[in-house]
Homo-oligomer: A and B are copies of this chain.
Amino acid sequence: MKLLEERILRDGEFKGNDIVRVDSFLNCQMDINLISEIGKEFFRLFGDKEITKILTVEASGIGIACITATYFKVPVVFAKKTQSANISEEDGLLTAKVRSFTKKTENIIRVDRRYISPFDRVLLIDDFLATGEALLGMIEIVRQAGAEVAGAGICVEKAFQPGGDTVRKMGVDLHSLAIIDKDADGNMIFIEK
């Protein structure tokens, strides 16, 4: 998606340790016009997939998921994060373990079982895809519910981390609107997958 790539080039911050910060328009401060265009693009990509629900993980995916949902006219469910060990696998909860790459923590993400039914066709939405931990956690939750992963829409994927390829190999219909890689000199480039 050209609009997002151009915005990343203009306003993204590139730090050491392969960190790309998009805080000023996608996370922390959200450019609502940009996110509306992102939502439209996800609808263009997945609008024919008979999506019944959108799933994301708190916190930064929620705004993108909600604006996307205004085009699909389906409910949004967001998985809540809890520090590991605080929660046991209770009846009525769908849970998965998720490690955070940037924060170096391990969380359990959880969704009330009532909010994803075996009849749901779920679109997964998130802002970033790097190691793939959050996305794999959401896939695990949808499968626990006996529902179907109808697709996954990501704003920014880092191609130099393994998450995207892992998820594609699982057969998930994954679309990332901007895929960042590094050329031989370590400069950031956008690629297609």
Residues of A within 8 A of B (CB): 23-24, 28-33, 35-36, 58-60, 62-67, 69-70, 73-78, 80, 111-112, 114-115
- The listed residue (B29, B60, B63, B66) touching A32 by CB distance below 8 A is B66
- Shortest Cβ gap from A117 to chain B (Å): 11
Give the nearest-CB partner of A72 in chain B.
Answer: B32
Within the complex, what minimum Cβ distance (angstroms) separates A93 from chain B? 11
CB within 8 Å for A76 and B33 given contacts A58-B58, A62-B63, A70-B67:
no
Would you give the shortest CB distance from A11 to chain B, in whole angstroms?
11
Bound complex: CA of A86 vs CA of B193, how far in Å? 39
Could you tell me the distance between the alpha carbons of A112 and B32 in the complex, rounded to whole angstroms? 18
Residue of A30, A31, A35, A67 with most partner-chain B CB within 10 A: A30
Q: How far apart sit A64 and B76, CA to CA, in the bound complex (Å)?
A: 11
Q: Which residues of B contact A76 (CB under 8 A)?
A: 29-30, 32, 63
Q: Once bound together, how far apart are the Cα atoms of A32 and B68, in whole Å?
A: 10
